[in-house]
Structure 1
Amino acid sequence: QRPRTTSRATQGATGETEHNTKRTTPHTTQHTTYQPPHTSMLGERQALIGDSKRAGKGGAGEEESFFKDDYGEGLVRFPGTIFGGVRDDYRRRWRHVSSDFTMAWNRKTLSAASVMFLATFCSTVALGSCIARHTEGRIGLSEYLLMNGIAGMAHALLGCQPLLILRPTGPITLILTQLYALSKLVEVDFFTLVAWTGVGVASWMTAIAGLELSRHIAMLSCFAHDVFAVFVSSIYVVDGVVGVVGRFQESAASAVVVPLFALCITLALVSVAFFLTYLRHVSHVLPRSVRFLLSDYALCLATVTATALSYACAEVEVERISIADTDNNWMTVEPTFVGRPWMVPLLTTPNATLAAVAGFLVAIPITVFFYFDQNFSSLLCQSKDMKLTKGAYYDSSFLWMAVFNLIGPLFGLPFVTGSLPHSPQMVRALTNDENDAAPPAPAPTHEKDGEGQDSQEGESVEAGGSNAVDGDGVVVVDVAAAAVCENRVAPFATYALILLSYLVFSDLIQTIPVAAADAVLIFVGLEGIFDTRLWRRLSCLVTPDRDCSPDIGVPSAARRFTLLQLAVLAAGWLLNFTPAALAFPLVIALLVPIRTYVLPSLFSPAELTVLDGPEEHAGMMADFGADDAGAGGYGPPPAMKRPGGAGWVFYSS
């Protein structure tokens, strides 16, 4: 944990004395318990509360008052009553209702809505095509687009964090595939099983939201973030590759030209998408605005290119995406499985009781996975780096997912959760251009006012504008200075376009080849994997120590850390290929005890700072408090103290 920050006046009076003391004080052998800086929010605030109590500034009510006025919202506020977190979310967000619409009148809203519509739409179309193949047409693109559009518009208008992108994700596609296999194994109706699973999932998620358990996602560090991100992304890649390989397996030896042409379409889309995405990182071609525009629309342009290529050889048959037959009637919706009613019968299907029991049992591991998936998405799109000014919200979003996952399956629609990487992408799309390359703002200093409360000096800088905190601890947004155009119109327009694309332009969707849908899955998955530190460390497994990047720290420790992450990933995928495949979320849950008990026994605190700390600690050794400078032999000379006084750094290079 970081040392308690003092006021500027105190720092000015004692800074030189402390500096000289650090230079003359010999190194001690005292060690502190390691805690990654980006996951120490709870512990840091508890330490500040403890300091106030020891100073005689409060009793039992001090903690409640501290969190009431603290703007480290979402994960560190403790209302202390059932559904208190949900009520607290809405109480804080209610102050921003008017600005949620007035901030929408700018060009960023239109550009963000169009970019995110294309990114979300392409992925949803690909997953809808994939699930139709895995469930033999029981559920497909119609259900995916309907659920994505309807649930998304409701959350954009009623949720506390409208910028969170929710949709049927790749893991949800995997879960529905396993539920279909289970329904055939126990001989129950697939839709009845999914509906009862939705009832169970909604019950567990409601309990989690009511008890404010989402705050515990702060316990997870980069070790868990990378494992989870790679696992989710690998699901997309595997689904896409299975589609490509399946066409070769299903075709006769004399008809190999069809799968070969489909493979060309897949490779063309992936290549064009990566090429256009890479334009963002080069500076010697095209103006910056053009490069960024092409990069933003990379997936859409690649899909259009692949679709055009599919018509290049009229003699070759190309399999295209199909949507449920609507008899060419405008604004008509039909389920993918012909003849089934929209409302799922819960009690009248064969073995309905068995379906209910099985649904409630499998709801437990599914809820575990949704806990990580939803809260990781919320955490990453509401991090301090995103410069949001209207607060962070977790419990209310989790409760809305419970509502959607109860109602949707009752109509044969898929589950939904927060989506990665689309949720952080929405925030970036709404970020003002002048803030794109802005350096990170300094952390807020917790200065105490006359009553022992946090004045939160510096928070307005981090929020991206000259914001103030009112008497209830809620930030008052300076609309003109906000770094991100936070509004409800952009996400609502994104989901409305997705719904309209199905209701009005279904014929256009059916021109997209299935091979292009597989390519979209491969591209999205690879892009997610390439963005992790686990991927960037893989080369150290086969690289000599002298040639390893200094960013990974000690090469031997980096290899052990990487192999442990790969072992957890392998365990999740091995379980997925067993009859207990629906229990794979339990492997994800093991990330918590592994991080808490296993990693500290295998790595030193200094090694964990480099390997498991935030990005800014890559390539440096960090001290763990002013009183332990140099503990364990890693302390730098005082001249290398970081300006601002918050910790010491040592560059390994």
Structure 2
Amino acid sequence: MSKHLRMQIPSQRTASRRWCFRLSPRSSAQQGFLKRDLADVLSFATLRTTEATANAPLDRMPKLRPFKDIAVEIRSRWPYYVSDWVDGFTDKKVLAAGVFIFFANVAPAITFAFYLDDETKSAVGVSEVLLSSAISGAIYAILSGQPLVIIGVTGPTSIFTVTINAVARSIGVSFLPFYSWTILWSAFMHLILAVVGACTLVRIVTRFSCEIFGALIAVVYLLNGGREIVREFSEGTFETGLLSLLFALITLWLSMQLGAARHWHFLRSWMRALIADYAIPISVTLATVVSVVIPRVNHAGLSRLNVPSDKPFLTTTNGRSWIVELDDIPVWGVFAALIPGFILTILFYFDHNVSSLLSQRPENNLLKPSTYNWDFFVIGLTMIPCAILGIPPCNGLIPQAPLHVRALAKIRQKPSVHHPNRLVEVWERVQEQRVSNLMQALLTFVALIPPVLGIVGFIPRAVLASLFLAMGFASFVGNQFAQRIALFFADPAHARLVFSHLHAVPFSACAKLTAVQLVFLAGTLGVTESGNAAALSFPLFIAALVPIRYYVLGKFIPERYLEILDADDGREFITDAEGAGRRRGRSGSHSVERELGPGTGMEGIGMGGGFHPRPSSEDEDEMVEEIEVKVEEELDPNQSSEGFVPKNVVHRGRK
């Protein structure tokens, strides 16, 4: 290690160590050695700091404080309520984000609606799904503590609804009353869990569980997109299938290219930003127009959306009354609905809170406080009108919610210091407001108007399939689970630079964790796609990942390595910027850098990174002269400080 790197270690009995690294580069060659050596020392520090908590997973279990936690959240968020509305009219990105997330939300919603329409014999269809998204989205945008989270009908919710329909038929009760009582029981459980502060326990959910769940959602989206294309081959001619595949690939490619418009070298900056913000709407519109205006394509028999545009406004899909007859079910059926209601609560507890966590990641640089318990309480409130109307309940959407945050972020791109040919994005701030969320909910309600539904009916189903593919790939690119899979195929010399947060972890530990995650992903996906009553239990498999992480994985992988791999932002150390990439309080801000894949063109639709964040600096082209790294850890009073000195690092005494 270079002689210019020095370390200072305070008293061995202090509870907090301050490690100081002073870099005094003499030449560009020495700078390269210093960067490499500093990475080694930081990785060593990361490894040692995790040992203090490696054997005590229960120490991090937060205590429940009934009524107090939710009251504290309301008091902390209330002062920002007015600014949530005012800030929505001070940035032009809000309008773009509202329209963008409407398209990103309504397209999967319509596709899920057709799936539900087929499986429930039109008991739940397009009208029900869109109305649920509009009502629930509006309530959540107005009352929630974190309005950046987008809620809607998800793939797991659709699968759960279809399973409930099968269970209702098997036990001989009417589907809609049984479904409504299931939602009512779940709403009641939501309110109880929120009041007792149970959402505080979401802190024990680590990256291990989130990565598997995120990968599950991504695979479901990819499967849905693939099924739509395969259906064109099976239900139509071979020519129609090829044309559908072509439209899907062109729409996917076009959305990626337009999403990367900020990196173009022509047009003005505001025009490039506008194109990037509206990449998906532009792509869908262009593909739809081409499919209509070209006569040969228009007469090729492409499948388009079958919407009820010829019916009066706000008419149910099968013509039933909007109000469900809750008494049209035996008493035992009411209490039998308690079981699926409990399972639905588990699904929403995990699904919504993970969506909320991904939207409020430290690297997103949000300034306003979070309110997990109150948001879960509001989700319970939105389920009550859904139960009365017999429409699917809504919860946080993945990846739409994180994409909404990204659409509202002010991001700069610059060349990376370590990789000149690779771009990094610097997150400066996010426009935190309620207007864009309410806007997309109102636009969803407008989509229920018959003339608008008629326009939506021109969209080819293959174009919607491409949106599923785009969102599926978006979820994978930002998933470190997928990155570790890529590590198996990467050049070891290059992987050392790209996956710098894994310096302190042996390859065998990475391989074991990745293999375990692949097994659980395959098992959960198999249950989810089983198509029978067993699919009702897939939320239980997701919830079981949390205790498995703490009590099973440690038997195969050393806990100190799991701590590093499970870190929230890929690194365990804090820089002198007071935790670049970590959430601050009400005041102060910092920027966070993420590396973008070279030439991916996926940035504009949330597909441009989400790799490990890096501490920011004013000028990355100059070598940092002095870096201070603080490592907080509980020390054993009998442990010698010499045990914390990495090899070849000079100990200059106490500070």
TM-score bracket for the superposition, by shorter chain length: 0.7 to 0.9
Aligned pair partner of 2:516 in 564, 576, 590: 564
Q: 1:229 to 1:412 in 2, by over 3 A?
A: same
Identical-residue share of aligned pairs (%): 24
Contact 2:140-2:379 within 8 A present in 1 as well: no
Q: 1:172 to 1:333 in 2, by over 3 A?
A: same
Counterpart of 1:109?
Answer: 94
Match for 1:262: what amino acid?
Answer: S
Q: 1:85 to 1:259 in 2, by over 3 A?
A: same
Match for 1:128: what amino acid?
Answer: A
- List aligned pairs for 1:144-223, cutoff 5 A: 144-223=129-208
- Tell me how far 1:615 sits from its aligned partner: 3.5
Q: 1:342 to 1:15 in 2, by over 3 A?
A: closer
CA distance in 1 between counterparts of 2:18 and 2:248 reads: 64
Q: 1:80 to 1:292 in 2, by over 3 A?
A: same
Counterpart of 1:54?
Answer: none
- Tell me how far 1:266 sits from its aligned partner: 2.1
- List aligned pairs for 1:490-569, cutoff 5 A: 490-503=436-449, 505-541=452-488, 548-549=495-496, 551=499, 552=502, 553-569=505-521
- List aligned pairs for 1:45-444, cutoff 5 A: 80-81=65-66, 83-106=67-90, 107-251=92-236, 255-279=237-261, 282=263, 289-311=270-292, 312=294, 313-327=297-311, 329=312, 332-337=313-318, 339-348=319-328, 352-353=330-331, 355-432=333-410
CA distance in 1 between counterparts of 2:364 and 2:415 reads: 11
CA distance in 1 between counterparts of 2:52 and 2:343 reads: 30
Aligned pair partner of 2:549 in 595, 599, 603: 595
CA distance in 2 between counterparts of 1:14 and 1:166 reads: 43
Match for 1:625: what amino acid?
Answer: E
**What SS does structure 2 have at the residue aligned with 1:347?**
coil
- Tell me how far 1:80 sits from its aligned partner: 3.1
CA distance in 1 between counterparts of 2:204 and 2:16 reads: 34
Deviations 1:126-164 (A, max 9, x none): 332333234343312211211111211122122222222
Contact 2:96-2:277 within 8 A present in 1 as well: no
CA distance in 1 between counterparts of 2:634 and 2:404 reads: 39
- Tell me how far 1:597 sits from its aligned partner: 1.5
CA distance in 1 between counterparts of 2:351 and 2:454 reads: 33
Contact 2:64-2:197 within 8 A present in 1 as well: no
- Tell me how far 1:411 sits from its aligned partner: 0.7
**TM-score calculated relative to the size of structure 1:** 0.73
Q: Residue 625 in 1 paired to residue 633 in 2?
A: yes
- Tell me how far 1:399 sits from its aligned partner: 1.0
Q: 1:341 to 1:533 in 2, by over 3 A?
A: same
Contact 1:79-1:88 within 8 A present in 2 as well: no
Contact 2:64-2:196 within 8 A present in 1 as well: no
CA distance in 2 between counterparts of 1:540 and 1:634 reads: 30
Counterpart of 1:486?
Answer: 432
CA distance in 1 between counterparts of 2:255 and 2:487 reads: 28
CA distance in 1 between counterparts of 2:641 and 2:290 reads: 62
CA distance in 2 between counterparts of 1:245 and 1:622 reads: 55
Contact 1:266-1:519 within 8 A present in 2 as well: yes
Gapped regions of structure 1 (runs ≥ 5): 1-5, 18-22, 47-75, 440-463, 465-481, 646-653
**What SS does structure 1 have at the residue aligned with 2:378?**
helix
Contact 1:104-1:488 within 8 A present in 2 as well: yes
- Tell me how far 1:171 sits from its aligned partner: 1.6
Counterpart of 2:619?
Answer: none
Q: 1:171 to 1:286 in 2, by over 3 A?
A: farther
**What SS does structure 2 have at the residue aligned with 1:99?**
helix
- Tell me how far 1:200 sits from its aligned partner: 1.9
Q: 1:308 to 1:95 in 2, by over 3 A?
A: same
**What SS does structure 2 have at the residue aligned with 1:97?**
helix
- Tell me how far 1:498 sits from its aligned partner: 1.9
Q: 1:433 to 1:261 in 2, by over 3 A?
A: closer
CA distance in 2 between counterparts of 1:231 and 1:362 reads: 21
Q: 1:606 to 1:277 in 2, by over 3 A?
A: farther
Deviations 1:217-249 (A, max 9, x none): 111221112111011121222222222223333
Q: Residue 608 in 1 paired to residue 562 in 2?
A: yes
Gapped regions of structure 2 (runs ≥ 5): 1-9, 22-40, 417-426, 572-611, 615-628
CA distance in 1 between counterparts of 2:155 and 2:408 reads: 25
Counterpart of 1:20?
Answer: none
CA distance in 2 between counterparts of 1:185 and 1:79 reads: 39
Contact 2:143-2:378 within 8 A present in 1 as well: no
Q: 1:11 to 1:182 in 2, by over 3 A?
A: closer
Q: 1:247 to 1:148 in 2, by over 3 A?
A: same
- Tell me how far 1:544 sits from its aligned partner: 7.7
- List aligned pairs for 1:455-470, cutoff 5 A: none
Q: 1:335 to 1:574 in 2, by over 3 A?
A: same
CA distance in 2 between counterparts of 1:12 and 1:246 reads: 61
- Tell me how far 1:592 sits from its aligned partner: 0.8
Contact 2:446-2:452 within 8 A present in 1 as well: yes
Q: Which structure features the higher share of strand residues?
A: 2
Contact 1:142-1:334 within 8 A present in 2 as well: yes
CA distance in 1 between counterparts of 2:278 and 2:648 reads: 48
CA distance in 2 between counterparts of 1:146 and 1:316 reads: 33
Contact 1:377-1:423 within 8 A present in 2 as well: yes
- Tell me how far 1:30 sits from its aligned partner: 9.4
- List aligned pairs for 1:437-456, cutoff 5 A: none
Counterpart of 2:34?
Answer: none
Q: 1:109 to 1:527 in 2, by over 3 A?
A: closer
CA distance in 2 between counterparts of 1:242 and 1:138 reads: 23
Number of aligned positions between the proteins: 540
Match for 1:412: what amino acid?
Answer: G
Deviations 1:445-469 (A, max 9, x none): xxxxxxxxxxxxxxxxxxx9xxxxx
Q: 1:634 to 1:273 in 2, by over 3 A?
A: farther
- Tell me how far 1:588 sits from its aligned partner: 0.6
CA distance in 2 between counterparts of 1:598 and 1:335 reads: 48
Contact 1:321-1:513 within 8 A present in 2 as well: yes
- Tell me how far 1:593 sits from its aligned partner: 1.3
CA distance in 1 between counterparts of 2:49 and 2:19 reads: 24
CA distance in 1 between counterparts of 2:552 and 2:267 reads: 49
Contact 2:50-2:560 within 8 A present in 1 as well: no
- Tell me how far 1:589 sits from its aligned partner: 1.0
CA distance in 1 between counterparts of 2:494 and 2:18 reads: 44
Contact 1:248-1:256 within 8 A present in 2 as well: yes
Contact 1:116-1:494 within 8 A present in 2 as well: yes
Contact 2:255-2:280 within 8 A present in 1 as well: yes
- Tell me how far 1:32 sits from its aligned partner: 6.2
Match for 2:548: what amino acid?
Answer: I
CA distance in 2 between counterparts of 1:631 and 1:32 reads: 17
**What SS does structure 2 have at the residue aligned with 1:502?**
coil
CA distance in 2 between counterparts of 1:629 and 1:267 reads: 61
Contact 2:19-2:631 within 8 A present in 1 as well: no
Which shows bigger deviation, 284-293 or 579-588? 284-293
